Structure 1
């Protein structure tokens, strides 16, 4: 009965369990947190409007992975298990939660978070594990459970990477990688193991999946052009306002030079549709 496209759409449909006859407007309205995860346009008209939604294009629902290896990994990196924790000795230690369970504390959260992030980017950790550091609450939350809606974004190098020759503040996705992918599209490799593909981008750490929780602790810019502008501004170059008369031009993000650096970059604005 369905066309191919509508079958795919049907597979990515979400449903809100509220009586259709309710005249409530709130649950039907678009929420800010839906950005990039739920399509703002595709919803039926009439009774089910806004209650039946569709996932966005690049959206992915996590499958889940066991949490024991994560806890092991943390203990090997200096985490003190919660049973042995003495609050009076380290009153300012950062609490570590895995899937909502308090498993231990750590003295140097900044170092730990960067280590875990690095391990995930190098694909030793499952790419769908999400890492959220709440600096104000002194908490570090790790989620590896199933059913979290995630979306991919390009990663931005946070420190100068001398091995790969990528400067701080540049995309991890390099021209070489893009050229390899283009070549692969033109003539697919004979051996399937040599294929880079989407998995290759994740393994290279050029693309990262973020869920709604982790997205709140990230700085995501809309286009690579924004990264360029930010770098110029950091270098002290005065940028003049773009007062073009094109009504469809995109408004540039007005960055404050003192703000924190971007951590990720959107793949393409059209990815919010589904």
Structure 2
């Protein structure tokens, strides 16, 4: 649109016989260019612009099941080609798996294996925070502006540089001063003076203090520990369960804070409070939050082979049940609804967290593992005919049909 506007204005200004009235740019803007472009992207999912062609920009939300919809909303699409047979992009990086940012089990089977990842239960994507006030606060807290020092200061082995969103803004002094500055910034974040998703990371090997406030970083919440003791007490838990306080109140009251991958390198995190030491800085809210939505509904996943958990993450999305409370009033293209959905016999904490226990999917079946007619059957089931006649596994398929009528049509 801007290119066409520029060409149109250039043609008008280059015309010596143009009228002398003031030029109004708004008259020459073709608004339909953006409108048609957005319609094309939403309809096909592809950007087709000069020098910029990208596929898969939009996707149709999966509504086959409730858990499949949740999984689709936390999916991270790949940036590399699926057809290339390379192993490194498919491996889950240790900083992502160990820190609980991406689910180690939930990934497709086939050529997209390892490339398409899913976020964990409590992972969060950051959004952009205004940089100006944060840079001013850094200078106010003792960061020396780079203009006031010679270039030799960069090569000083005792000097720590301050990098803000990849931009060099100054010096924090020696190592003790850099640690003090980073600790002050964290206190400002905890008391609400700056945004809760601002990251402060001291890299002693590179002699740098990295501050990040940009969008697109993955972070997750952790309980703050003081000398190995959790800040969350029994009274806090009771108020949370009674509905007096919320999770956001815990963040505002400096009980919980969000850390990204970089800042977790400076943190010592304990799985349980009983495992914490005086050097522990944070404690996990719950260990099972290192899994995603689909892997979290598997009973005792640590007793399974890892690839069996991956299979269940793929098959759990296909379970027929109720997709939502408004399923009978929806206009989806195709819906499958189970007539007699049931809750699972074994309820996991993830099921209660996401509300899956209120929307049943699947039925509890009594299964006998035995030989049939002298032959062992692999990957097959012989079902009871009378149970099927009584409604076991019965489902309703709802399709969308469109009809139009023309009144007073002349034949």
Q: TM-score, normalised by structure 2?
A: 0.52
Unaligned runs of 5+ in 1: 158-167, 185-194, 232-260
Residue equivalent to 1:161: none
Residue 209 (1) aligns with residue 258 (2): yes
Residue equivalent to 1:190: none
Residue equivalent to 1:134: 203
Residue equivalent to 1:220: 269
Residue equivalent to 2:247: 198
Q: Does the 8 Å contact 2:122/2:221 carry over to 1?
A: yes
1:123-272 mapped onto 2 (5 Å cutoff): 123-157=192-226, 168-184=227-243, 196-227=245-276, 230-231=277-278, 261-272=279-290
Residue equivalent to 1:113: 182
Query: Following TM superposition, by how much is the alpha carbon of 1:263 offset from its aligned partner in structure 2, in angstroms?
Result: 1.1
* Secondary structure of 1:147 counterpart: coil
Residue equivalent to 2:25: none
Residue equivalent to 2:160: 94
Query: Following TM superposition, by how much is the alpha carbon of 1:88 offset from its aligned partner in structure 2, in angstroms?
Result: 5.9
| Runs of 4+ residues deviating >6 angstroms | none
Residue 49 (1) aligns with residue 87 (2): no
1:12 equivalent among 74, 77, 81: 74
- Count matched residues: 223
Residue equivalent to 2:311: none
Pick the structure with greater CA Rg. Answer: 2
2: CA distance between counterparts of 1:128 and 1:89? 31
Q: Does the 8 Å contact 2:228/2:273 carry over to 1?
A: no
Change (3 A) 1:74 1:49: same
Change (3 A) 1:88 1:26: closer
1: CA distance between counterparts of 2:211 and 2:166? 8
Q: Does the 8 Å contact 2:232/2:255 carry over to 1?
A: yes
* Secondary structure of 2:229 counterpart: coil
Unaligned runs of 5+ in 2: 1-62, 293-411
Query: Following TM superposition, by how much is the alpha carbon of 1:25 offset from its aligned partner in structure 2, in angstroms?
Result: 2.5
RMSD across aligned C-alpha pairs, in angstroms?
Answer: 1.8
Q: TM-score, normalised by structure 1?
A: 0.76
Residue equivalent to 2:18: none
